[in-house]
Structure 1
Amino acid sequence: MDRLRCIEVFIEVAQGRSFSAAAQRLGISKGNVTKHVAWLEETLGAQLLMRTTKSVSLTDAGLTLLENGRDLLERFEETEAAIEGSVTSTKGALRVGCPPSFGAFHLVPLLTAFSALHPDVQVVLYLDDGRSDLVSEGLDLSLRIASSLRDTSYVAQKLAVVPQILVASDRYLANRGHPETPQDLVHHDCLVHTLKAPTNIWSFTGPEGNVSVRVNGTIRANFGEALRYAAILGHGIAMHPTYMVADDIQQGRLRQVLAAYQPTALDVFAVFPSRRHLPTRVRAFIDFLKVRFAGMVEWQQEPDALK
């Protein structure tokens, strides 16, 4: 039986000193009231009520339960109301996981805009590589940027699609030459993201259709900003989302490579533990991101439009 329900039934009996009156107030049968009290006595291993044909009185154990039971039920109701409020109202802590470079340079402006709309939400940003366990880390959701998600234990909602582009500095291209086809990349120093291309394979769509090539280089990293900076320093060819290198191309720090071949695009996902009982603040944040991502034209631009 439900322990709290049994305590509630007992308190009704104890306060009115009557099984019949308690049954009437609770809207259940007298026999059901008796069962709840009997189960509670058996579970606690103590007699709570002294019953005669004419009266009901409390034992010492019953008096103790009556005094503490009221507080217990009140605390439960307060906790229940607090939990319901955290789920149904747009307030409270919102814990968001996000890749470091994307979080620091692209998500933070969105977080400030969201906070302006929802001042009662306190955002806690966790910068990680996207592989954190949402439940053990206490995250409400995590933003992950990938061509596909390997972990199917969570619920994922696509927020945006962003194209990628190959880039290199003028200095590198002057020293090593311009590749004409993806196959030429095997002769170049390629800066590989270990999470996005763990097997060193880059895939493209070009004039001849889909093509993949295994590349190699002297620097690999799990942090896109490190690879971007290495490319700016002239160390090799890197593959990045367009939003990450658009300014570098416009400022002349990087140049597009293999313009006729489009690398596999990346999806931006919001990943969360479950659809059930999703707090309102989390739903509001996901809806906010959908609208804002859709309005970021530079994220959706094809590489040619960045020149």
Structure 2
Amino acid sequence: MDKLVALQVFRRVIELESFSRAAEDLHLSNAAVSKNVRELEQSLKTQLIQRTTRRLSLTETGQLYFQKVCSILDELATVEETVADLAVKPHGLLRVTAPMSLGLIHVATAIYQFQLAYPDIQLDLTFCDRYVDLIEEGFDVGIRGSGATPDSSLVMHRICEFPRVVCASPAYLQQSGEPRSPDELKQHQCVIYSLARSPYEWHFWQGNETIVAHVDGSVKVNNSLAASQAAIAGLGIIFLPIFVASEALKQGTLQIILQEWSTEPLSLYAICPKHRQRSRKLQAFVDFISDALASITR
């Protein structure tokens, strides 16, 4: 038994909660994964994993062992990468995920500029609006907005913030009237962005006054670009980051309302697994993307 391989296999089985998924992830056979875990348990003379037909769970000893194994493997990976990085430029595969709209409008361009600056880094980009488990799905870094609450296995790096605005099409405002205060939004059709922390609550303040507007509408969308298109089509009022609405505002197909009220900006974070945070390629990426996106908001 190769002890290091066995430890890596054991860790991945627990993280993915499946022998077969760990085998696929590690490019091993199911039999090889089972053998590594079995021989590891035999060498320790204790059971680490309780197996049932439906799920895997750690024994009490297995839980303690798993925590120690993760710490050791993470530290080993950091040491190896640090030593290797001393002699070479940042290099290797970097897997990045970001929200679809932000990715298409700003992140993609910045990332392509990053690749030109660091040609020895290979990029694997995934733009999607669903929740991505960075560790389970093998990503090095994820770009996420306000409300990101990583667990103790992840680290957050604040990048920048974008103002958010309330908009509607001129046609909608002509037909339905323009709300003069957030309280009046409940009388209007609003386009709901379903992935927001509180899709049906929009927060405003003016001086010492705070208002939570309870909104609703006939259209609910899980992508902010699609939501802005719904607003442009005259289907209602939308609350979204200004970078999504900027072109429509320039073209006059959307206009900002309730400008005398302040709203919470969208803060952006780079989030990475804790055991990868010292990687030179990751540090180079976070620094580059932070500068690129921050320059847009200046």
TM-score normalised by L of structure 1: 0.67
Q: What's the counterpart of residue 231 of structure 2?
A: 231
Residue 112 to residue 83, structure 1, CA distance change in 2 (3 Å) = same
Identity %: 28
Q: C-alpha distance in 1, partners of 2:97/2:291?
A: 19
User: Amino acid of the residue matched to residue 93 of structure 1?
Assistant: L
User: Amino acid of the residue matched to residue 92 of structure 2?
Assistant: G
Q: What's the counterpart of residue 253 of structure 2?
A: 253
Structure number with bigger Rg: 1
What is the 5 A alignment of 1:114-133? 114-129=114-129, 131-133=131-133
Please tell me whether the aligned partners of residues 207 and 260 of structure 1 are also in contact (alpha carbons under 8 angstroms). Answer: no
Residue 98 to residue 276, structure 1, CA distance change in 2 (3 Å) = closer
Please tell me whether the aligned partners of residues 110 and 293 of structure 2 are also in contact (alpha carbons under 8 angstroms). Answer: no
Q: What's the counterpart of residue 278 of structure 1?
A: 278
Q: C-alpha distance in 2, partners of 1:220/1:208?
A: 31
Point out where structure 1 has 5 or more consecutive residues left out of the alignment: 5-42, 44-79, 301-307
Q: What's the counterpart of residue 141 of structure 1?
A: 141
Please tell me whether the aligned partners of residues 203 and 212 of structure 1 are also in contact (alpha carbons under 8 angstroms). Answer: yes
SS in 1 for 2:274: coil
Q: C-alpha distance in 2, partners of 1:277/1:198?
A: 31
Please tell me whether the aligned partners of residues 100 and 128 of structure 1 are also in contact (alpha carbons under 8 angstroms). Answer: yes
Please tell me whether the aligned partners of residues 168 and 234 of structure 1 are also in contact (alpha carbons under 8 angstroms). Answer: yes
User: Amino acid of the residue matched to residue 149 of structure 1?
Assistant: A
Across the aligned residues of Structure 1 and Structure 2, the Cα RMSD in angstroms comes to 2.4
> How far did 1:81 drift?
6.8
Residue 190 to residue 197, structure 1, CA distance change in 2 (3 Å) = farther
Once the two structures are superposed, residues 23-78 of structure 1 have per-residue CA deviations (whole angstroms, 9 ceiling, x without a partner) of xxxxxxxxxxxxxxxxxxxx9xxxxxxxxxxxxxxxxxxxxxxxxxxxxxxxxxxx
Q: What's the counterpart of residue 149 of structure 2?
A: 150
Q: What's the counterpart of residue 175 of structure 1?
A: 175
Q: C-alpha distance in 1, partners of 2:183/2:277?
A: 50
State the aligned residue count.
Answer: 222
SS in 2 for 1:135: coil
Once the two structures are superposed, residues 131-152 of structure 1 have per-residue CA deviations (whole angstroms, 9 ceiling, x without a partner) of 1110111100000012x32333
Once the two structures are superposed, residues 211-232 of structure 1 have per-residue CA deviations (whole angstroms, 9 ceiling, x without a partner) of 1111000111211111000001
Q: What's the counterpart of residue 294 of structure 1?
A: 294
> How far did 1:83 drift?
8.8
Q: C-alpha distance in 2, partners of 1:276/1:96?
A: 13
Q: Runs ≥4 in structure 1, deviation > 6 angstroms?
A: 80-83
Please tell me whether the aligned partners of residues 92 and 121 of structure 2 are also in contact (alpha carbons under 8 angstroms). Answer: yes
> How far did 1:278 drift?
2.8
Please tell me whether the aligned partners of residues 114 and 285 of structure 2 are also in contact (alpha carbons under 8 angstroms). Answer: yes
What is the 5 A alignment of 1:170-249? 170-207=170-207, 209-249=209-249
Q: What's the counterpart of residue 30 of structure 1?
A: none
Q: What's the counterpart of residue 263 of structure 2?
A: 263
Q: What's the counterpart of residue 107 of structure 2?
A: 107
Q: C-alpha distance in 1, partners of 2:130/2:157?
A: 15
Q: What's the counterpart of residue 85 of structure 1?
A: 84
> How far did 1:206 drift?
2.0
Q: C-alpha distance in 2, partners of 1:3/1:220?
A: 52
SS in 2 for 1:292: helix
Q: What's the counterpart of residue 96 of structure 1?
A: 96
Q: C-alpha distance in 1, partners of 2:85/2:288?
A: 19
User: Amino acid of the residue matched to residue 99 of structure 1?
Assistant: P
Residue 199 to residue 3, structure 1, CA distance change in 2 (3 Å) = closer
Q: C-alpha distance in 2, partners of 1:269/1:291?
A: 13
Residue 86 to residue 101, structure 1, CA distance change in 2 (3 Å) = farther
Point out where structure 2 has 5 or more consecutive residues left out of the alignment: 5-42, 44-78
Please tell me whether the aligned partners of residues 90 and 121 of structure 2 are also in contact (alpha carbons under 8 angstroms). Answer: yes
> How far did 1:275 drift?
5.3
TM-score normalised by L of structure 2: 0.69
> How far did 1:266 drift?
1.0
User: Amino acid of the residue matched to residue 104 of structure 2?
Assistant: A
> How far did 1:208 drift?
5.1
User: Amino acid of the residue matched to residue 166 of structure 2?
Assistant: L
Q: C-alpha distance in 2, partners of 1:102/1:219?
A: 21
> How far did 1:237 drift?
0.4
User: Amino acid of the residue matched to residue 104 of structure 1?
Assistant: L
Q: C-alpha distance in 1, partners of 2:121/2:281?
A: 7
